[in-house]
Structure 1
Amino acid sequence: MNLKTINPWQWQNNFGYAQAVEITQHQGTLYCAGQAAIDADGNPVGGSMTEQVQLSLQNLETVINKAGYHPAHIIRLNLYTTSIPDFFAAYGTLMAWLQAHRVTPSCTLVQVEALAYPALTIEIEATVVR
């Protein structure tokens, strides 16, 4: 088994985790950590649900691309939000991104009491195959 961590930034090293881990055998599978509205320095970025979904997806795409994968090969998304009604009001943002990448992954949507930082309202995990 070959294991490779993918960290496009350095700030996560302070928290002891990787943005993604790739395990290869006959084919590659990329397990992405939850991506949220966090800037390149590790600071949370507030804003509307739509703005946070957009930045979360940009961060997810950065991790996927840095690992040498493509968003079109996402097979699973786990979505964690502090407000399902607010998320569905911004759902068109996610749908447009999925359609742009021609991907239809399996998904789970869960409402949680809070995310890592109080300003965050959405976090997105992905599993990607090669």
Structure 2
Amino acid sequence: MTNRAVIKTDKAPAAIGSYSQAVKVDNTVYLSGQIPLNPQSMEIVSSDFTEQARQVFSNLRAVCEAANGSLSHIVKLNLYLTDLSDFAAVNEVMAEFFEQPYPARAAVGVKELPKGALFEAEGVMVI
């Protein structure tokens, strides 16, 4: 693929495995999952779900901006929660970061996430 570019920023956590923060192909950016790591310390920001969700969306925003986009360019968002009772809280936090028209979205309950995170989000952005 000649139109493929890796997106990287130090304003979001470095990859903790064999993946890129995002990959851009033409005008589509595939955003890797972000967990609530502080980009400087690489530690989970808090045990509080709401604080974790805010950090996740802040990390996603940083990667979007590194790709010359914004959260408003996300067309598909996948959310992973270790406790689906946090579904209402994630909707409230999303309203702080996203405006209508909202992206298409899925919310999936999972047993666990890396580093003991309670929440992870990944998506696809078109710029």
Same fold (TM over 0.5): yes
RMSD: 1.6
**Could you list the runs of 5+ residues in structure 1 that have no partner in the other structure?**
none
Q: How many residues align?
A: 123
The answer to whether the Cα contact below 8 Å between 2:28 and 2:124 also exists between their aligned partners in 1 is yes
**Could you list the runs of 5+ residues in structure 2 that have no partner in the other structure?**
none
1:1-130 counterparts in 2 under 5 A? Answer: 1-9=2-10, 11-12=14-15, 15-24=17-26, 28-41=27-40, 42-99=42-99, 102-118=100-116, 120-130=117-127
Change (3 A) 1:7 1:114: same
CA–CA distance in structure 2, aligned partners of residues 70 and 11 of structure 1 = 19
Change (3 A) 1:50 1:6: same
CA–CA distance in structure 1, aligned partners of residues 123 and 22 of structure 2 = 9
Runs of 4+ that moved beyond 4 A: none
The answer to whether the Cα contact below 8 Å between 1:29 and 1:129 also exists between their aligned partners in 2 is yes
Change (3 A) 1:78 1:16: same
The answer to whether the Cα contact below 8 Å between 1:71 and 1:103 also exists between their aligned partners in 2 is no
CA–CA distance in structure 2, aligned partners of residues 83 and 122 of structure 1 = 9
CA–CA distance in structure 1, aligned partners of residues 91 and 29 of structure 2 = 24
Percent sequence identity over aligned pairs: 28
